[in-house]
Structure 1
Amino acid sequence: MKIVVDGDGCPGKLLIEKAAKEEKIEVVIFCDINHYITSEYSTIKCVDAGFQSVDMYVMNETKKNDIVVTQDFGVAAMVLGKKAFAIGPKGYVFDEGNIDKLLFERHISQKVRRSGGKTSSPSKRTSEDDDRLYRNLKKLIIKAKELEV
């Protein structure tokens, strides 16, 4: 088991690494060449820039019981199909019970924007988001470890 991070636009790296260190879990962060990410703990894999290039690397790297940190609902849906876990950078856990609704809402928002309409912007990151990310990531780690036994 490892934590795979969609590093393009993913805040919370320090919290992810903190939880991983405590549980002695490998972290792999993917980013494209337009982002500069450093870490003393995680493995950073820089890939070519391009439409969804990081997403494809995240998908290919992810195995059963891995934990993927991404804000992309499409990536979350694909890794759930591989029997991995998915969590957003604000700590919301994606699962079979909520992913279809999230994908549908994303689809509707895209249609509204394509037709010239406006949709709301994501809210700013808060300390509650940080707390939720750390707490829920620790829960997913415990769950994933139980499934490995």
Structure 2
Amino acid sequence: MSPDDTPRAPRGRALIIDADACPVVREALACARRARVPVVIVGNTTQNLARHIRRDDPRDAGHARGGSADRPGFWVDIVEVPIGADSADFAIVELLEAGDVVVTQDIGLASMALGRGAEAIGVRGRVYTRATIDMDLFIRHEEKKVRRAGGRTRGPAVFTAEDRERFVRNLAQLLR
């Protein structure tokens, strides 16, 4: 049996950040520090994810991947994944436990998180719910069909300070 095959003990509630193109990593870390919730930052190897971590932040490398440390409160782990479509998403789904909170711009990942008993929040502060995720996925699918047929859909609005504030407010509420 390899170390990857050993069952991992539940780590308790964690904040998992889909760091691929995420504009609110620093804010998410600040919320987790205040709430004393562990964080796992997941992104591809080109991103220098460690730049988001302060020197005084406790690290718990390997914990998210089944390490034996039992560190209550805030700590940070980084999971680097290869460049490729959805590699961060698949890594996040593998790490997810019920009760975790996932920060993502990806509606598909948000849906998988909700299906596993976790919570999901978008980078603009929208909290995804089981009541609305099916409609979100349907809209995404319909827009994709329009684009495949050569049509155009409206892109995302400019990311604003209000989006950032809404994100911080709603994430702080989820982490309580």
TM-score normalized by the length of structure 2:
0.78
2:171 aligns to what? 137
| Residue deviations 1:45-87 (CA, integer Å, cap 9, x gap) | 1111122111000111110000000010000001101110000
Unaligned runs of 5+ in 1: 143-149
Residues 34-49 of structure 1 aligned to structure 2 (within 5 Å): 34-38=46-50, 39-40=53-54, 41=57, 42-49=76-83
2:110 matched to 1:63? no
Q: Structure 2: which amino acid aligns with 1:63? A: E
Residues 2-41 of structure 1 aligned to structure 2 (within 5 Å): 2-38=14-50, 39-40=53-54, 41=57
2:71 aligns to what? none
Q: Aligned-pair distance for 1:35?
A: 2.0
1:146 aligns to what? none
3-state SS in 2 of match to 1:51: coil
TM-score normalized by the length of structure 1:
0.92
3-state SS in 1 of match to 2:49: coil
3-state SS in 2 of match to 1:10: coil
Please tell me the root mean square deviation across aligned C-alpha atoms, in Å. Answer: 1.0
Unaligned runs of 5+ in 2: 1-12, 58-75
Larger Rg: 2
The answer to which structure has the higher helix fraction is 1
Residues 103-122 of structure 1 aligned to structure 2 (within 5 Å): 103-122=137-156
Q: Aligned-pair distance for 1:6?
A: 0.6
Percent sequence identity over aligned pairs: 37
Q: Structure 2: which amino acid aligns with 1:91? A: G
Q: Structure 2: which amino acid aligns with 1:111? A: K
- The number of residue pairs the alignment matches comes to 142
- Partners of 1:137 and 1:68 lie apart in 2 by 10
2:63 aligns to what? none
